[in-house]
Structure 1
Amino acid sequence: MSRVIAETLGVGVVLGGQPVLHGVSLSARTGEVLALLGPNGAGKSTLLAALAGDLPPSAGQVLVHGKPVGGYRPKELAKLRAVLPQQVLLSFPFTVAEVVEMGRAPWAGTPAAELDEEVIAEAMRETEVTEFAQRRFPSLSGGERARVALARVLAQRTGLLLLDEPTAALDLRHQEAVLRIAKRRAGAGDAVVVVLHDLGLAAAYADRVALLSGGELAAAGPPAEVLTGELLSRVYRHQVEVLAHPRTGAPLVLPRRDHE
């Protein structure tokens, strides 16, 4: 039985004097991958930041484990949720192994620290970065950096994973690998919230999807219910066809490309 780990209740966010989110209510549940979808500027990353407690809402409330997210001290919150931002900027040329090890910082001085070595090694194996553990982070390609950043988040070992476009810099194989990792974490009882632009990945791997449009929640539910041609065409302002995958039945989202 899944339970709610984090939720937004009528959340609104104003940035630079401009409203970005309007009254969004959404929950992240154990055992599920929730994909946040929508066109550029829809408010996906803003909603993720609000869920993470990194961006205070101007209206409504964000709860983590039933408590207002602003009521946690930073170290307490770091034990409850791990956040992967779109870009990871480091001021010093840390090695890959050192970057991943940073994910264990919240557990320093606790019994969980005894697992550091094992957890770090597992996170690096999952993301396929072990072979360049001693390379300097700035020397990596964009895709390699993205995988190292994900390894750091996995090493944090929290029950709530918040991933902002984790597949953006990755090739096809590693995109699939990242979503398989998300699915495994959800299968182990975690709640995973992931911002995606690839509707096909969302349809294949998400248990629920939330479609944002203009800072509002246009629809939320299982992919087969939300990812319809009519709704997607309206939200993305481009004609879309949705077919059923011949083997899995999952929605296949295809932009119309009619050439005269």
Structure 2
Amino acid sequence: MINVLLPRRGRELPPRPSPGDLLAEARGLRVRLGQREVVAGVGLRVCAGEVVALVGPNGAGKSTLLSALGGDVAPAAGEVRVGGRPAPDWSAPQLALRRAVLPQAATLSFPFPVEDVVRMGRAPWAGTAREDEDDAAVGAAMAATETAEFAARPFSALSGGERARVALARVLAQRAPLLLLDEPTAALDLRHQELVLRICRERAAAGDAVVVVLHDLGLAAAYADRVAVLRDGHLAAEGRPAEVLRDELLSDVYRQPVEVLPHPRTGTPLVLPKRDA
């Protein structure tokens, strides 16, 4: 039996999903930006308990698809469903309880302390039965992202990598069951790239669904349950990493010859560009 928390001020709160529950879905999705069709007839399902990586070359439509899955971009055709309903049927506050979005760039106009930035992720729960979790959620998010040590520093004084981790902490503090992360490792060093993807796996193991845009195919192979390869707005392939990350497909999609080798210890696909020497 699902226990639904009753809100204090009349808002319906989402129950915790069960493993395999469908949390987001795109059906025949088409998105136009100006005169260009950026997403062209894509279908994708995202379920609780899994990490789905969106990969592909620049301009393939990964970020636009991610924004559409979060209900932030209106489709020209097709449908996006979040939490069992068409995304436009949710109000903005209700949608924020069900999905958390990490954009590519984290910018703030004012020098808020880091802890206050992370606490912004708790705004959707204000006035509900779960607002008592605010301190615990903020503390856990900062510990997970290794940002607690500079909690009092202004966000504007941080390096690019530190800002990226604080932005991720804000998303984690939101405690939505669907996490949509756009290139969360782009500004990070090797240690923190691995940290972020381990967090993704931990959230999936705890019952959340994670959709993450990645350029590093090695990270996608190592951490994703499924990989969706995009090319020119189309879904070129989708499936388990070992099934999708193939020499011929990737060489064609990226217009760069590659070779895919099994890791000598784990068997995880390693994607390497072919070089003359």
Amino acid in structure 2 at the alignment position of 1:73: S
Match of 1:74 in 2: 92
Equivalence for 2:143: 125
- When structure 1 is superposed on structure 2, of 246-255 and 145-154 the one drifting more is 246-255
Q: CA deviation at 1:62?
A: 0.2
Alignment of structure 1 residues 173-252 onto 2, 5 Å: 173-252=191-270
Q: Distance in 1 between matches of 2:37 and 2:20?
A: 32
Matched, 1:108 2:118: no
Q: Which runs of 5 or more structure 2 residues have no equivalent in the other structure?
A: 1-18
2: CA distance, partners of 1:66 / 1:128: 34
Are 1:149 and 2:167 an aligned pair? yes
Q: TM-score, with normalisation over the residues of structure 2?
A: 0.93
Equivalent position amino acid for 1:247 in 2: R
The separation in 2 between residues aligned to 1:91 and 1:28, in whole angstroms, is 34
Q: Distance in 2 between matches of 1:65 and 1:100?
A: 24
What are the residue-to-residue correspondences of 1:28-177 with 2, within 5 Å?
28-177=46-195
Shift of 1:68: 0.5
Unaligned runs of 5+ in 1: none
Are residue 255 (structure 1) and residue 255 (structure 2) matched? no
Q: Which amino acid aligns with 2:95?
A: L
Amino acid of the structure 1 residue aligned with 2:27: L
CA distance in 2, matches of 1:115, 1:6: 25
Residues in 1 aligned to 2:43 and 2:96: alpha-carbon distance in whole angstroms: 23
Distance in 1 of aligned mates of 2:20 and 2:219? 22
Once the two structures are TM-superposed, the CA of residue 3 in structure 1 deviates from its matched residue by 2.2
Instruction: Give the Cα–Cα distance (whole angstroms) in 1 for the partners of residues 144 and 275 of structure 2.
Output: 37
Distance in 1 between residues matched to 2:119 and 2:84, nearest whole Å: 29
Code of the aligned partner of 2:41? G
* 1:75-103, Cα deviation, whole Å (9 max, x unpaired): 00000000000001111110000000000
**AA aligned opposite 1:25:** G
Q: Distance in 2 between matches of 1:158 and 1:5?
A: 11
Question: How far is the alpha carbon of 1:208 from its aligned partner?
Answer: 0.2
Letter in 2 for 1:112: R
Residue aligning to 1:6: 24
SS at match of 1:111: coil
- How many equivalent pairs are there? 259
Segments of 4+ in structure 1 off by > 3 A?
A: none
Task: State the distance in 2 between where 1:28 and 1:58 align.
Answer: 21
The separation in 1 between residues aligned to 2:50 and 2:267, in whole angstroms, is 19
Structure 1 SS opposite 2:130? helix
The superposition leaves residues 130-161 of structure 1 with CA deviations (integer Å, 9 ceiling, x where unpaired) of 00000000100000000000000000001000
The separation in 2 between residues aligned to 1:3 and 1:253, in whole angstroms, is 31
Q: Letter of the 2:66 partner, please give it.
A: L
Q: Percent identity?
A: 66
C-alpha deviation, 1:15, in angstroms: 0.4
CA distance in 1, matches of 2:148, 2:275: 42
| Cα distance in 2, alignment partners of residues 53 and 238 from structure 1 | 33
Q: CA deviation at 1:117?
A: 0.5
2:62 and 2:72 map into 1 onto residues whose CA distance is: 14
- State the one-letter code of the partner of 1:193: V
